[in-house]
Amino acid sequence: MKQANPKILLIYTGGTIGMIKDYKTNALKAFDFDRIKSKIPELQILDCQLESVSFDEPIDSSNMDLEHWVRIAEIIENRYDEMDGFVVLTGTDTMSYTASAMSFMLENLDKPVIFTGSQLPIGDLRTDAKENLITAIQVAAAQENGEPRIREVGLYFEYKLYRANRTAKISSEQFEAFESPNFPHLGESGVHLNFNDSVLGGKDHEKKINKKELIVRKKMSSDVVVLKLFPGITETVVSHVLGIPGLKGAVLETFGAGNAPTSAWFLNCISQAIKKDIKIVNVTQCTSGKVMMGHYATSSYLKEIGVINGKDITTESALAKLRYLLTFDLDKEAFKTHFERPLRGELT
């Protein structure tokens, strides 16, 4: 049985949520999370023990990279046994990328890792930071029969709890900054904190009966690219992108249900890349919906030459999954099989 007051570790990497305004200079400065309870007294009445750790130099999320992902994963790894849950604070711009990556890096995860942030600084009069932070902590601390309600990487923002690797940032101005277009919410915050048990207990994400030891995958391939198609894209552009020296994988953002040009030069570029063992994943540019390779003639050709079907995966999650799978010694068929089936509930 878990303890009555769960221990939650707050990990601050940077971002808007950790900024406060100096009203004398009107400038924003980093918040000292060691003094968080004095700044947000509401945290003192939460039914959990709260500790915090910050990056030595907080970063803007635009500067988030593989090295920072490893640092987050290592903090969780080093404190995993003593903590009951984790809340990771990052900037919103790349939060879905980072949270998606973490879902693959933390294998056999059996505790909540909840990402959150804010659109306004924590010291702003109309800030969304306090609600997001307080509720994210409550989500991470939530238990039933002494066991955590959430056993995966989640993302909490503006009253909604999402599966992290199903999310995308949809607004730079609204408080409802994120959405999970192809997957139901894991939970919702209102008068009560409600969890969607039908999703949390789904076949693709069953609660583990025989718990396995956490494995932290710190190696992620950097030799990947996202290629977004557009009307009038040229052979020069496609050939140069897919001809990047050392390239191992590409997320191909196609039209609609996975459609792409049928020009001989385009199909030749894709085919030649695949023959060079570059893994190419087909994802849709649409906010919601999925790739249906072969549904139209304009995607049948891609299927025939070996393009991987991304189904309803997000670009953010596809990129993370590519980076993760490319570190294993998989042949083309095995790679395709592993990508096209859910590993962390990232696709249907």
Catalytic residue list: 16
Q: 335 by DSSP, 3-state: which?
A: helix
Alpha-carbon distance of 271 to 74, in angstroms, equals 39
302 closest CA partner among 347, 342, 253 = 253
Instruction: Round to the nearest angstrom and report the end-to-end CA distance of the chain.
Output: 33
Give Cα separations from 130 to 35, 93, 122 (angstroms): 14, 19, 7
Is residue 17 within 8 Å of residue 118, measured between CB atoms?
yes
Q: 102 by DSSP, 3-state: which?
A: helix
Is residue 318 within 8 Å of residue 251, measured between CB atoms?
yes
Alpha-carbon distance of 283 to 313, in angstroms, equals 7
Q: Which H or E element spans position 264?
A: helix 264-275
Work out the number of other CB atoms within 10 angstroms of the CB of residue 116: 31
Alpha-carbon distance of 123 to 17, in angstroms, equals 9
Here the tokens at position 37 are: 């309870």
Q: Which H or E element spans position 51?
A: strand 49-54
- Greatest alpha-carbon pair distance for the chain in Å reads 65
